[in-house]
Structure 1
Amino acid sequence: MIRTAVPAEAERVVALHARARATYYPDGAPQDGTDWLAAWRSAIERPDGHVLCVVEQGRLVGLASFRTPEGAPVHTVKLFQFHVDPDHWRSGIGTALHTACVEQWRADGRHTAVLDVHVDNRRAQAFYARQGWSPDPENPPAEGDHHLWLRYAVPGERPGKERGTTGE
């Protein structure tokens, strides 16, 4: 089942986040002082954001956090976090969760989604490519940056275009 996360699940969300994130850091996830419990509580409680979670047999096995980032066009959404429990990789959970995100973006009137992915996270890069994400031409990689920016065109009709017209 895919549904909106609730504040009481924040500790479970942090645990899944840590398990998934640790897989793409060869020496373990860096400890940068981030209070992930506070960060996830904030994400779950934000009125301008969404945290979707996948629950199977009472266990949290996937999650996605997204919202319009500060200063971005109103029709753009940023996927801040997207994680599937490593024990459930290649089971279809990620694809189902991505589909749920796209449905929400479409319902919210979003046209474009962006994300950044760690350069060492090849598994995630391949997953996003299969979903239709591509390198963001407006954010090419900077020298020494450890993240790649990707862009996704949210399918659906655009406001102001009539069906059957070219828009020219």
Structure 2
Amino acid sequence: MTDIRPATTADLDAMVDVHTQARTAYYRAGGLAEAELTDPVERAERFAGWRRAISGEGLVTLCAVRDGAVVGVLSMGPPHEQDAEPGSVGELYQIHVRPGSWGLGIGGRLHAAYVTALRDASVPYGRLSVWERNDRARGFYARHGWRPDGHHTPGPGGADYLRMRLAVRGIGG
């Protein structure tokens, strides 16, 4: 059984480990050089980022816990880019599942918690950015109803981040 619960600062090390393992898997699969994946400065930045996500006002940060271990993480909040009407979009900043736990429905449970949070706040649309070479994530999001919105930004390895949008059924779509 996997439980989804709010993250705490006690979870930080485990959250960074999950994030690091997941990003290493998808960037490596997308052809990024090993040197770009093992930079210790980036790990420290991930730790600081998750700490901000846990303590940030208006942010939601969740952990998926299975057999006492953090196996998935999620953070969400208002959009980074203020190009939408306030309160109309909730951004999924990050969702990561430990590679050894892929295929167990953990990502789906975290995604469902995200959609529930949008519905509870009457936010009609979700938004996220995904690395274009992360085929696994792009497929996951497409299966959950996400569609590209045409916006993209430069990403690592000469590949863009593609922005996707989700109409939350019963509110905006």
TM-score scaled by length of structure 1: 0.85
Distance 2:124 2:40 in 1: 33
Q: State the superposition RMSD in angstroms.
A: 2.0
Residue correspondence of structure 1 range 55-134 to structure 2 within 5 A: 55-70=65-80, 71=82, 72=84, 73-134=86-147
Unaligned runs of 5+ in 2: none
Unaligned runs of 5+ in 1: 159-168
Corresponding residue of 1:161: none
Corresponding residue of 1:6: 8
Distance 2:132 2:53 in 1: 24
Distance 2:6 2:131 in 1: 25
Distance 1:6 1:141 in 2: 31
Which structure has greater helix proportion?
Answer: 2
Shift of 1:142: 7.0
Corresponding residue of 2:17: 15
The range that moved more, 31-40 or 121-130, is: 31-40
SS of aligned partner of 1:136:
strand
**Residue 42 (str. 1) matches residue 57 (str. 2):** no
Shift of 1:140: 5.0
TM-score scaled by length of structure 2: 0.83
Identity %: 37
**Residue 151 (str. 1) matches residue 161 (str. 2):** no
The range that moved more, 34-43 or 65-74, is: 65-74
Distance 2:171 2:23 in 1: 35
Q: Which has the larger radius of gyration?
A: 1
Corresponding residue of 1:52: 62
Greater relative CO, 1 or 2 (CA 8 Å, sep 6+): 2
Give the ranges of 4+ consecutive aligned residues of structure 1 lying more than 2 Å apart after TM superposition: 26-34, 69-73, 140-145
Residues matched between the structures, number: 157
